[in-house]
Amino acid sequence: MISIKQPEGKLGILLPGMGAVTTTLIAGVEMLKKGLTVPYGSVTQMQTIRLGRRDDKKYPIIKDFVPLAKVDEIEFFTWDITDETAYDAAKNAKVLSEADLDKVKPELEKIRPMKAVFDQKHVKRLSGTHVKTGENKMELAEQIRQDIRRCSEGLSRMVMVWCASTEVHREIKEVHSSLEKFEQGLRENNEDILPSMVYAYAAIQEGVPFVNGSPQLTVDIPALIELAKAKNVPIAGKDLKTGQTMIKTIIAPGIKSRMLGMKGWFSTNILGNRDGEVLDDPESLKSKIVSKASVLDHILQKEMYPQLYKDLHHRVNINYYPPKGDDKEGWDHIDLFGWLGYPMQLKINFLCKDSILAAPIVLDLALFIDLAQRAGMIGIQEWLSFYFKSPMCSEKVYPEHDLFIQHKKLKNTLRHMMGEDLITHLGNEYYREE
């Protein structure tokens, strides 16, 4: 059993970006604290975990099995480019009804964002007034570090989860290749260092675990992975697996497990929230499309099953359509074939609510990365792949996208942490008795 420090005292969840996801999360947690709701969608709060043999009948809820911070012990801190209370931001996001927001109005009104590190070059569709200034990016990182230290008063631990807008797509460049080059880049205001990387650098320097909820690289660069290891900090990312990609990673492993072939998978998304508006810029869109596109290749393994998947056409579109608001709609059309090559079709129309799916994921990630920190786990936390569209992994392996493998890995990691047997699903009931 791994030695895990108990979660004594308060946990600060630091959230760059106070938009739809962040305000939906905060409002929900504040309602949970008052006993006004049930934590639907949260694996940590609702899911059981089997221990031992099926007939041992031990199924504790995850939050009672591993020492997680209690929801009552959470406090929130945010940064945003607009200076308004979490109550006003939540109203503008139009995810939750005013009737629900009013139940936690005093708690939401108390939260005001700190000034952001922001550069319009990296999120073309936004402009902000509530923004830090400094000589260079190292100075801005220093200001975020000061913010973090100020937030730490009265808390025992903190974690940071990036819930701000999707930034433009960037490939890994020289400046990201080592910590030394990255720090030089911060001092020289290198263009390829995104604001999200400045936050991640500041958090890790302060010993605060960092999670990236958006698709751009952020912490998924050698320089920050190096820093996380040096500072003994766990990190995870990227891009929360919510609507269409969640469904894709549920359906595709099932089709593959039955050795059904696939000629094409056409996906289109229609969304109308501010996230959609940001993604209306081709450079931010590219971050998202890259994140969504690789999923099927990894699940279907066409190099291993060329007869089934070598001709697969996978198309992903994202369309900004304001009337939809936060009610995202995903359309999937899948061309399959089976025995003797006969064709079939599967069509899926998912009418989801983006931030309703994302908020419990952010809660789980914050609680799990805090657990990882207390368990002495450092660097990339691959066992949290379950929550991401584009999971970070060691360069020696490929990312695991299959939701069921990810789920098994998550639960087995928890069992391992607590010194329980891993569940292999291997039974002995098939053998005749000697």
Ligand X SMILES: NC(=O)c1ccc[n+]([C@@H]2O[C@H](COP(=O)([O-])OP(=O)(O)OC[C@H]3O[C@@H](n4cnc5c(N)ncnc54)[C@H](O)[C@@H]3O)[C@@H](O)[C@H]2O)c1
Minimum Å distance from CB 383 to ligand X?
19
Closest-by-Cβ residue to ligand X is 19
Binding site for ligand X (CB under 6 A): 16-22, 79-82, 93, 116-118, 123, 126, 163-166, 195, 213-214, 239-240, 242-243, 273-275, 278, 354-355, 357-358
- Rounded Cα gap, residues 118 and 189, in angstroms: 13
Report the candidate in 346, 361, 358, 349 with the shortest Cα–Cα distance to residue 406: 361
Minimum Å distance from CB 194 to ligand X?
8
- Rounded Cα gap, residues 430 and 420, in angstroms: 24
CB nearer to ligand X: give 243 or 272.
243
CB nearer to ligand X: give 26 or 414.
26
Minimum Å distance from CB 22 to ligand X?
6
Is 182 in contact with 201 (CB distance < 8 Å)?
A: yes
Strand partners, 271: 320
Report the candidate in 258, 246, 250, 157 with the shortest Cα–Cα distance to residue 209: 157
Minimum Å distance from CB 240 to ligand X?
4
Minimum Å distance from CB 14 to ligand X?
11
* Cα–Cα distances in angstroms (integers) from residue 323 to residues 208, 272, 277, 354, in the given order: 39, 6, 12, 14
Is 368 in contact with 44 (CB distance < 8 Å)?
A: yes
Report the candidate in 41, 54, 49 with the shortest Cα–Cα distance to residue 408: 49
CB nearer to ligand X: give 209 or 215.
215
Minimum Å distance from CB 346 to ligand X?
23
CB nearer to ligand X: give 7 or 195.
195
Distance of CA 118 to the CA centre of its chain: 21
CB nearer to ligand X: give 22 or 44.
22
CB nearer to ligand X: give 241 or 415.
241
